[in-house]
Amino acid sequence: MTNEQKALGVSRRGFGRLAAGTVLGLAMPATIGRAQPAILRISSIQAITGPSSPYGWRARDGAQLVADDINATGLTLGGTTYRLQITTEDMANDPQQAITLLRQAASNADVLAVIGPSNSVGYVPSVPAAGQLQIPLVGAGSGAPVKQWNIWSYRVNPVSETAIPVLLRKVHAKVPFKRLGVIYDQTQDGQAGDAQTCKALAQELGYEVVAFEAFRAGDQDFSAQLATIRSKKPDAMFVAAATGDGVKVTSQIREAGFTVPLMTGFGSFQDPVYWDGTHGEIKGCYTWLAQDLASPTPSVKTFIDRYKAKFSQEATSFSTYGADALSTIAEALKKAGTPSRAKLQEALSDLDFVSPLGTHMTFHNPPSGNNNTPNVVAIEITGRGTYTAI
């Protein structure tokens, strides 16, 4: 069984053991005959199981690759050289579990910051909790709207309100659809946000949303929704679903005889999990990425090659989000000059730098923790993990 197949239902063995030790503070206890490096501990809260797991374990692994690079030379702050220790906890697809894990991280004074969750169902409710607990939270994939930001919460990736308009405009210019059918997961904030954006752009682009059908995460049968959509005769469809559920929805769309172009958000169609799960039925369909992984810059190509060699799987946008999240924390720590939550938050609030992957990170919080300078690339799927930019 491949990693991708396992990720849809069960976690990979040892997902939480990315580095030795699970209870490490800012300074390791002395060992006879050998000095131990000082440690900065970061918690990564991700969906390692459940429908969002392909997002979660790729964000986790992308961050770990950056940690390996930093730890090769160490991170020097105030004359002390530190190593980074990342521990990953599984929130599955449960917002309450995400908040519980965030509280556990915040209660440990040795934990400096939290990466994730990469899915919106975990990240959005974690934002107010991070503010209450006063621990820096750096999201790595969530794109849903956040109603009220605080100075402790950030995210490095493009968000739905930025990326979906780019996707819809590019696809509509290439395939001028007039009747759009939407099927979306009403339990996932990010997916529901994508669906609402499809409605918001209808008048501007000159199409009509003829069907707007909801389902719940974990559903197995979408025949009722598809029957309604079929009666409306759409000439394009938008599938707003996390990868695990999206594979099931998309497969049933094709099995029902729909041949119209499909779109989805968060780069999901580019993930080989989707190609394998749908037996290639997503060829000619559309999504968006934050990095052009098919025509990468030298730095991104190096990351992709190293990622595949280390983890035996292809990198996706979520791999780069995890990498950029940890790079952002490291850069903010350099600016802060000391390993303090409060100083880290202060540095994040007005950070402006280019990550090793070439992502321009610009934060001004308040008013929000969104990256103000994200990249968005609309793509058409051509094969397993391959595409052309449109």
Contact by Cβ (8 Å): 264, 246: yes
* Rounded mean pLDDT, 11-39: 46
| Phi/psi-derived region of residue 308, left when phi > 0, alpha when psi is between -120 and 50, beta in every other case | alpha
Average pLDDT score over the chain? 90
pLDDT tens-digit map of 199-219 = 999 999 999 999 999 999 999
Q: Give residue 174's pLDDT band: very low, low, confident or very high (50, 70, 90).
A: very high
Query: What's the confidence (pLDDT) of residue 36?
Result: 67
* Rounded mean pLDDT, 343-362: 97
* DSSP secondary structure letters along 329-357: HHHHHHHH-S--HHHHHHHHTT-EEE-TT
Q: Dihedral, CA atoms, 179, 185, 187, 191, nearest 10 degrees?
A: -70
pLDDT tens-digit map of 29-85 = 444 445 567 999 999 999 999 989 999 999 999 999 999 999 999 999 999 999 999
Q: How far apart are CA 71 and CA 149, in angstroms?
A: 32
Q: How far apart are CA 322 and CA 67, in angstroms?
A: 10
Query: What's the confidence (pLDDT) of residue 194?
Result: 93
Query: What's the confidence (pLDDT) of residue 230?
Result: 97
* Rounded mean pLDDT, 121-125: 95
* Rounded mean pLDDT, 244-251: 96
The answer, yes or no, to whether residue 166 has pLDDT greater than 90, is yes
Query: What's the confidence (pLDDT) of residue 79?
Result: 92
